[in-house]
């Protein structure tokens, strides 16, 4: 067994895993996955592992994947892995960082500690953190690395719309908007949002001229699509020449993509953190550099 680090992946993640392994100089190996009739999983890793092992698993639709992480990480230790890194381009359960009602589960703390018990390092992209300043506070591992898709999305936007106005759909998007805008000198602003429910939001446009301008709504994640749709309708009503969308994480739950298209959004771009037809930017080389 060579000491070259190995990247483990599941079959559906082959394309992204191949790009990361090639850029990082790692060996690549697939995890065999079988489902029993009762729904339980049977997984099989290579019979011998090098000291350093990386597991790629983005955590959209996370519940079953968290069980996979438990099974794979514990088994990898018995097969020779001494240092385990989780690459989770999308990291689930980060939004619930406090209890708003008595008895409410603070899932960030629970899942964060669960991952810290399994892995020595975690690499993720644009985690959805609110009242927590660093990833290490949410996932207390020795090495907690945060990457961002905003600069790469900014490069893509600049190639299509060099004079674009970048708009964040809510205040939480301000950090990504600032990163992307600084990279190419884009004009930028952020909307004000009041959320009444998962699909019930009220948006107020920022005080900036949008008449006749090509606007790109930029955010870390698109889930229900209702916030982006509300912002797009307002921008078009205010005279925007066009509204496109760029997001790091293309969750697009249910009919979310249709919701934003119906609101008048033109192009939709995303990184490949979550596999989706809108993927236009690869994070592979960016992730690979995080290992060095």
Catalytic residue among 42, 65, 109, 193: 193
Which residues lie across from 167 on neighbouring strands?
189, 217
Q: List the beta strands (DSSP E) in the chain.
A: 6-9, 27-30, 32-35, 41-44, 52-56, 83-88, 121-125, 143-147, 165-168, 187-190, 192-197, 200-204, 214-222, 242-250, 268-271, 279-281
More confident residue, 123 or 174: 123
Could you tell me the sign of the dihedral formed by the alpha carbons of 119, 120, 125, 130, in that order?
A: positive
Using CA atoms, how far apart are residues 88 and 63, in angstroms rounded to an integer? 14
Biggest CA pair distance of the chain = 63
More confident residue, 194 or 258: 258
Question: Is this prediction's pTM over 0.85?
Answer: yes
More confident residue, 276 or 98: 276
Helix pair angle (150-160, 174-184), 10° resolution: 50
Percent pLDDT > 90 in the chain is 80
197 pLDDT tier (thresholds 50, 70, 90): low
107 pLDDT tier (thresholds 50, 70, 90): very high
With 90 as the cut, is the pLDDT of residue 172 above it? no
Q: What is the pLDDT of residues 22-60, one digit of tens each?
A: 999 999 999 999 999 999 999 999 999 999 999 999 999
Q: What is the pLDDT of residues 66-105, one digit of tens each?
A: 999 999 999 999 999 999 999 999 999 998 888 889 999 9
Domains, in order of start, for the chain: 6-148+283-289 (3.40.50.2020), 150-272 (3.40.50.2020)
With 60 as the cut, is the pLDDT of residue 3 above it? yes
Q: How much is the pLDDT for 170? A: 83
Residue 65 annotated in active site = no
The string over 171-186, giving b where at least 16 C-beta atoms fall within 10 Å of a residue's C-beta and e elsewhere, is ebbebbbebbbebeeb
With 60 as the cut, is the pLDDT of residue 198 above it? no
Q: How much is the pLDDT for 287? A: 97
- Based on its alpha-carbon atoms, the radius of gyration of the chain, rounded to whole angstroms, reads 20
> What are the backbone dihedrals phi and psi of residue 137, each rounded to the nearest 5 degrees, phi first?
-70, -35
Q: How much is the pLDDT for 202? A: 79
With 70 as the cut, is the pLDDT of residue 222 above it? yes
Q: How much is the pLDDT for 165? A: 95
DSSP letter for 109, please. H
Token pair for residue 282? Answer: 């690869």
With 70 as the cut, is the pLDDT of residue 248 above it? yes
CB 251, CB 227: distance < 8 Å: no
With 60 as the cut, is the pLDDT of residue 199 above it? no
């Amino acid at each position: 067994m060579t000491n070259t680090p190995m990247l483990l992946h599941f079959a559906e993640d082959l394309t992204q895993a191949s790009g990361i392994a090639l850029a990082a100089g790692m060996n690549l190996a697939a995890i065999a996955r079988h489902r029993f009739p009762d729904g339980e999983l049977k997984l099989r890793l290579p019979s011998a592992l090098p000291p350093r092992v990386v597991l790629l698993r983005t955590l959209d639709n996370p519940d079953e994947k968290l069980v996979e992480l438990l099974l794979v990480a514990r088994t990898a230790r018995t097969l020779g892995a001494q240092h385990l890194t989780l690459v989770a381009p999308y990291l689930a359960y980060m939004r619930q960082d406090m209890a708003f009602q008595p008895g409410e589960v603070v899932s960030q703390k629970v899942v964060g500690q669960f991952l810290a018990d399994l892995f020595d390092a975690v690499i993720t992209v644009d985690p959805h953190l609110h009242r927590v300043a660093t990833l290490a506070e949410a996932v207390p591992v020795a090495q907690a690395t945060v990457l961002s898709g905003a600069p790469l999305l900014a490069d893509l936007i600049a190639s299509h719309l060099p004079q674009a106005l970048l708009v964040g759909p809510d205040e939480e998007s301000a950090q990504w908007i600032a990163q992307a805008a600084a990279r190419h000198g884009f004009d930028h602003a952020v909307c004000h949002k009041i959320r009444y429910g998962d699909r019930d939001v009220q948006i107020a446009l920022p005080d900036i001229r949008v008449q006749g301008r090509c606007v790109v709504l930029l955010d870390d994640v698109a889930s229900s699509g209702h916030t982006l749709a509300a912002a797009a309708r307002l921008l078009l009503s205010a005279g925007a020449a066009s509204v496109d969308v760029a997001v790091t994480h293309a969750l697009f739950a249910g009919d979310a993509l249709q919701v934003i298209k119906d609101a008048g959004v033109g192009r939709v771009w995303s990184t490949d953190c979550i596999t989706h037809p809108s993927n236009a930017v690869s994070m592979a080389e960016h992730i690979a550099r995080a290992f060095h």
